[in-house]
Amino acid sequence: MAITEAEVRHVAMLARLALTDEQVQHLARELSSILGHIDEIKALDLAGVEPTAHAFPVRNVMRPDEVRPGLPRDLALANAPEARDGAFVIPRIVGAEEGA
């Protein structure tokens, strides 16, 4: 199945990847080729077959809801590209005109 460059751009936005035009062209070709192989699976008659998400049955795992130490904040922030006052720093997410 051929996948177009427009579809690649759409999927790249869903995947949060800022691709170059060259990457988009390559991926359109490569993904089409891979899907060309994978498409055989669409032809299988699987009507009535239950889907499997997990290799064997697992039940909900329960435990008492007890307070236990988690990852300390300084460690949680240790790998942050930018941190300040015990928090991650990110660019402004509210427009300047709406700012405080």
Partner 1 sequence: MADRTLMHMTAARLRDAIARREVSAREVAEAALAQVEALDARVHAFNQVTPDLALAAAERIDRMVAAGEDLPPLAGVPAGIKDNMNLLGTRTTCSSRILENYESVYTCTAVQRLLDAGALPIGKCNMDEFAFGSSTENSAFGPTRNPWDLERVPGGSSGGSAAAVAARMATVSLGSDTGGSIRQPGALTGTVAVKPTYGRVSRYGLVAFASSLDQIGPFARTVEDAALVLQAIAGKDPMDATSVDEPVSDYIAALDAGVAGLRVGVVTDMLELEGCAGEVRASVERAAKAFADLGADVGEVELPMSRHGLSAYYIIGPAEASSNLARFDGIRYGYRVPDAEDVLDLCMRSRAEGFGTETIRRVMLGTYALSAGYYDAYYGQAQKTRTLIMREFAEAFERFDVLLTPTSPTVAFKIGEKASDPLAMYLSDVYTIPLNLAGLPGISVPAGLCEESGLPIGVQIAARHFDESTMFRAAAALEGALGLDMTPPLVRET
**Sites of contact with partner 1 (CB under 8 A):** 3, 7-8, 10-12, 14-19, 23, 27, 30-31, 33-35, 37-42, 44, 46, 49-56, 58, 61, 63, 71, 75-76, 78-82, 88, 90-93
Percent helix, strand and coil across the chain, each rounded to 5?
40, 5, 55
Q: Which two structure tokens, joined as six digits, stand for 51?
A: 């889907």
Shortest distance in whole angstroms from residue 47 CB to partner 1: 9
Task: Output 41 or 100, the one with its CB closest to partner 1.
Answer: 41
Shortest distance in whole angstroms from residue 76 CB to partner 1: 7
Q: Which two structure tokens, joined as six digits, stand for 17?
A: 């990847």
Shortest distance in whole angstroms from residue 84 CB to partner 1: 13
Q: Which two structure tokens, joined as six digits, stand for 41?
A: 């699976």
Query: How far apart are alpha carbons 23 and 9 in whole angstroms?
Result: 10
Task: Output 58 or 100, the one with its CB closest to partner 1.
Answer: 58
**What distance, in Å, lies between the first and last C-alpha atoms of the chain?**
50
